[in-house]
Structure 1
């Protein structure tokens, strides 16, 4: 049983590292002008039914990558999980403004994500956040490199 849990954890960690390098990477051609006053920042706290964890993570990876790549107003969707409870997912979501968030909710990839994972989610809590150090915000993801 321990071996199976360790294998599942390794897969989850691998998927999340891939998400790290894809979901929050911006380049100069797709960068959104920075305006912290209108920015929408939140943490999505999601509990997944353990039996669906692997499938959920695969769907989440596709959705988060597509959101950042295809939607100029989606600055970041950064999924992560609690080490002790891998079915406790947290998403750092940063949108240029409320209109970008509302547009995201209507995107085909988000609608596909919501409909295909509806039975996998035990709970969802959306926590509105505000930046403490707004001046550092534009520099955050520039430090990461895919090379």
Structure 2
């Protein structure tokens, strides 16, 4: 990682209780929408589920810097997500990663 690059980039690997999958996905989508709309330091949040195992959720998170990440985890919308989904999450692994090539285009 370039020494000037202060972004926090991580992959969250989650296993969701299948009995609560629809509810989890709703709460996650609400949290991501609020984070992108309200927090300039949240650069990107992309959530996907494995096609054959939809309870396996992966989230690519990009924050402008450590301060943006710390602010994010204290927001009301994140705390609502965290508290509201705690019993739905069977496993969580957070993997800090270094960017190699991170780019995107706006897609209609």
State TM-score, norm by structure 1.
Answer: 0.69
Cα offset for 1:84?
A: 1.3
User: Does 1 or 2 have the higher relative contact order (CA < 8 Å, sep 6+)?
Assistant: 2
- The gaps in structure 2 that reach 5 residues or longer are none
Query: Bigger radius of gyration, 1 or 2?
Result: 1
Q: Deviations over 1:50-74 (max 9, x none)?
A: 0000000000000011101100000
**Structure 1 residues 45 and 95, CA gap change in structure 2 (3 angstroms):** same
- The gaps in structure 1 that reach 5 residues or longer are 1-34
Structure number with higher helix proportion: 1
Cα offset for 1:145?
A: 2.8
**Counterpart Cα distance in 2 of 1:116 and 1:36:** 36
Aligned pair count reads: 106
The residue aligned with 2:5 is 37
State TM-score, norm by structure 2.
Answer: 0.93
Task: Verify: 1:51 aligned to 2:13, yes or no.
Answer: no
Structure number with higher strand proportion: 2
| SS of the residue 2:47 aligns to | strand
